[in-house]
Amino acid sequence: MTRYALTRCAVAAFATLAFVPLTLAQTKPPAAKPAAPATAPDPTAAEFDKFREVLEEDNPAELFEAKGKELWFAKRGPNSASLEKCDLGLGPGVVKGAYVRLPRYFADVGKVMDVERRILHCMVTLQGFKMEDLAKQPFSNPNRTPDPVSLVTYVAGQSRGMKIATPMSRPEERETFEIGREIFNYRAGPYDFSCATCHGEDGKRIRTQPLPNLTKPAEAIRAYQGWPGYRMTGGVMHTLQWRMNDCFRQQRFPAPDYASDTITALLAYLAVNANGQVYKGPGIKR
């Protein structure tokens, strides 16, 4: 990506950040009656959707996609190997269309894996990296983007415009989906929250943040759409591994392990619910 494109990205991101408070201030004061019914269009959410559309033309996520591509083909790690032999489910080295067919069952490990977990598996088995090193600081901050994040972004970009077709033919895949559904609905912790507390109904918001109903296909896609995503808050690239982790933080739970079965099960549940919808590629988030 050129320096010009980089600058345009920065300008676009800055413009959005500056514009957000303005929009909030312009929101109409609440009328002297209960809030609008859940089915009415949400003007605040509509405004943010407009920004997202504008920003997607110059999404900084492209930078991470490019970085991920570089990493995929580079000879790295103790084994000085590339990831070109990594099997993401469609055969060694096939990246195109792999993302929209994950999570899936992998016979070589006897497990269902999501995209990030599978990439980690390849980094360990092909390149010789150690899982404990990769899991040490798995999430991005403004100063550091872990390699798996860029790799996930690259792989996701290779499914842009394709229909989500998460496989459910294996018993292991169906079981993972069902466990994911249970975890999604599992209320516990000091606030009695489950994922469904916030994401089980249509048209709800926390503050001004719209909450997709992740139990329905047309809305579950919103959890998939835009991830991995460039997050304007903090200006960092994040994957769904981070998103799930931070949801559990807000759910007042203890911390889930990175790339754990729990996260794979949840992602399988979300992905299957989004089946049939078109994936637009790495996105941009507030």
Partner 1 sequence: MGIRTASILGAAAAALAAAFSATAGDPSTAAQEMIKRDFKPRGIATIDRVNQDGVQTLCNRTHDKPPKDIAERLEKDQLAGIQWPADGKLLGDWKAGERVAQSGRGFTWSDKPGVTGGSCYNCHQIGPNENSFGTVGPSLYQFGKTRGFGADMQKYVYGKIYNAKAYNLCSLMPRFGHVGALTEKEIRDLVALLMDPGSPVNK
**Catalytic sites, residue numbers:** 247
* Residue among 119, 198, 220, 284 that touches partner 1 (CB under 8 A): 198
- Indicate whether 154 belongs to the interface with partner 1 (CB under 8 A): no
- Indicate whether 260 belongs to the interface with partner 1 (CB under 8 A): yes
* Residue among 189, 218, 233, 276 that touches partner 1 (CB under 8 A): 189
Question: Contact region for partner 1 (CB under 8 A) — 2-10, 111-119, 206-214, 271-279?
Answer: 206-214
Number of residues that bind partner 1 (CB under 8 A): 51
E strand or H helix at 9, and its extent? Answer: helix 3-26
d(CA 88, CA 159): 12
Give residues 213-252 in contact with partner 1 (rule: CB under 8 A).
248-250, 252
Tokens of 21: 């408070």
* Residue among 34, 41, 78, 91 that touches partner 1 (CB under 8 A): 34
Grouping H, G, I as helix, E, B as strand and the rest as coil, residue 225 is coil
d(CA 202, CA 212): 7
User: What does DSSP say about strands 282-285 and 209-211: parallel, antiparallel, or unpaired?
Assistant: unpaired
The amino acid that residue 185 corresponds to is: N
Residues 6+ apart with CB under 8 A from 57: none
Rule CB under 8 A: which residues touch partner 1?
A: 24, 27-30, 32-35, 38, 175, 178-179, 181-183, 185-194, 197-198, 201, 203-209, 211, 248-250, 252-257, 260-263, 265
